[in-house]
Amino acid sequence: MKFQQNVDLQSLNTMAVPSVARYFFIAQTLEDIRLALAFASKEKLSVFVLGGGSNSLLPEKLDGLVIQPLLKGVECIENSAESSWVRAGAGENWHDFVMHCLSAQYYGLENLAYIPGLVGAAPIQNIGAYGVELKDVFHSLEAMDRATGEMQTFNFSDCEFAYRESVFKNRLKDRMIIASVTFRLQRQAACNLSYPALASALEREADGKNPEKVAEAVIKLRQRKLPDPEYIPNAGSFFKNPVITEAKASALKLAHPKAVIFDVDGSHKKVAAGWLIDAAGWKGREAFQVRVHDQQALVLTNPNRVSRHHILTLADAIRKDIEQRFGITLEREPGLFSE
C-alpha cells in the first residue's frame, strides 16, 4: 500500500479551502480500508474520511490519515412488480448514479439530480432537494466499524434520519465508514411535484410530466441558482432551513408578508434560510474575502480560495444578524473536519 504524504487537498474539496493532509490514501476495496485503519492504529494517527468534499470545511492542516473510500459498482439486487432494489458503492458519483437509475427506469431519485458528492456521503447528510429526501428512497447500507474493521448493516430505523441529519452525524460520528448504499426505487414512473418552484418549472410541459422531465427541470433550476464549484468554489447550501413553531411563523409572516415558509407538521413550519439572508441584505455581499452568492443567498462562495476561518467568520456574522433581526438561529450544513 502506498500512503501519500503532505498531500494538498485544495482540489479535493468544493469550497477550495487550502488544506494539507499528513497522510492520504485512496481505498478501492474493503480490504484497503482495513489496511489503512491498521496503519493509522500502528502509527497512532487520527483518521479522517473524505468523500467528494462537497459538504466539508477542512482545516489548513490535517495531522493524521485521510482516507478517501472510492468503492465502485452499481447493481440491481432484487426486483418486484413495483420496486427495484439498487445497490451503489460509496465511491460512485451521486449525480451519475441518479442518471444511471433514470436511464434504467428505476424511479424516485430524479428530484435529487445534480447534487455534488459521492453516494457514501448522501445518507450521512440525508441529502434533500425539491420535495424529496434520501430517506424517502433509502433501504439499507453497509458500513465498516473503524475500531474493529467489521461490517454492519444499517436499516432505515438504524440510521435515525431527520432533516439533514442521521446517526452518522451524531451518535456514530467518526465511528463508521460507509461502503455501499441500497435504494428501493419504483418501476412505475411517478413524479413528485410537491415543491412549488419545480411544479412551476414543469407546468408548461405540453407533452406531459415524467421523471426524465423532472430531472431535466431540476438540473436547470440548480444550474441557474447555484454556482459551479469548478469555477466558483462553494459547498452548496451553507445553512439549514430553520424549523420554527407555527406561532412564530405566523408572527414572522405578519411582519414580513413575503417570507417564504413551508409546512412541516401541525405545529411547526420551515423558513427558507435563503429568504432570511436575502431579507437581511446579505445577498451578493462580500466580507472577510468570502462572498454570498448573488443568485442564491443560501450559498457562500470562496472566490479567493481562503481558509475556512474566513468562511466561518462570515457565516457567524450572518448567523448573528439573522438572530438579532428575526429571532431565528441558523445552523450550518457543512461539517468541520477535526471538530
Residue-wise pLDDT for 171-216, tens only, equals 999 999 999 999 999 999 989 998 888 998 888 765 668 999 999 9
Is-contact 66 50, C-beta < 8 A?
yes
Q: Coil, strand, or helix at residue 7? A: strand
**Residue-wise over 307-335: b if at least 16 C-beta within 10 A, else e?**
bbebbbbbbeebbebbeeebebebebbbb
The reported pLDDT for the residue numbered 59 is 96
Structure confidence at residue 266 as a pLDDT band (50, 70, 90):
confident
Q: Which of 22, 164, 222, 291 is catalytic?
A: 164
What integer pLDDT is reported at residue 213 of this predicted model?
94
CA nearest to 3, candidates 83, 67, 76? 67
Q: Match 434560510 to its residue by C-alpha cell.
A: 273
Specify the pLDDT at position 206.
Answer: 59
Residue 1: per-residue pLDDT: 65
**Nearest CA-CA partner of 13 in 61, 51, 49, 46:** 51
Read off the pLDDT band of 298 (50, 70, 90): very high
Q: pLDDT > 70: what percent of the chain? A: 98
327: β partners: none
pLDDT > 70? residue 109: yes
pLDDT digits (tens, 9 = 90+) for 77-103: 999 999 999 999 999 999 999 999 999
- 93 has which bridge partners? 118
Query: Does residue 114 contact residue 223 with C-beta atoms inside 8 Å?
Result: yes
Q: Is 34 a catalytic residue?
A: no
Taking the C-alpha atoms of residue 14 and residue 107, their distance in angstroms, rounded to an integer, is 28
What element of type H or E holds 83? strand 83-89
- Worst-scoring range by mean pLDDT, 111-115, 140-144, 192-196, 249-253? 192-196
* Mean pLDDT for the stretch of residues 60-87: 97
CA 223 to CA 129: how far, in whole Å?
Answer: 14
Q: What is the pLDDT of residue 222?
A: 92
Catalytic residue among 237, 291, 308, 319: 237
Q: From CA 339, how far away is CA 335, in angstroms rounded?
A: 8
Please state, for a pLDDT cut of 90, what percent of the chain lies above it.
90
Average pLDDT of the chain? 95
Domains, the chain: 4-69 (3.30.43.10), 74-224 (3.30.465.10), 227-336 (3.90.78.10)
The span from the CA of 101 to the CA of 174, in Å, is 30
- Among 17-26, 109-118, 163-172, 203-212, which is the least confidently predicted range? 203-212
Query: Does the annotation count 133 as an active-site position?
Result: no
Average pLDDT over residues 138-154: 97
pLDDT of residue 208: 65
| Helix (H), strand (E), coil (C) string for 199-252 | HHHHCCCCCCCCHHHHHHHHHHHHHHHCCCCCCCCEEEECECCCEEEHHHHHHH
- Residue 182 has a pLDDT of 98
Q: Is 237 assigned a catalytic role?
A: yes
Does the pLDDT value for residue 339 go beyond 60?
no
- The three cell numbers of residue 80 are 418486484
Instruction: Give the 3-state secondary structure of 132-145.
Output: EEHHHCEEEEEEEE
Concatenated DSSP letters of 178-202: EEEEEEEEESS------SHHHHHHH
Q: Please tell me which residue in 92, 110, 142, 333 is annotated as part of the active site.
A: 333
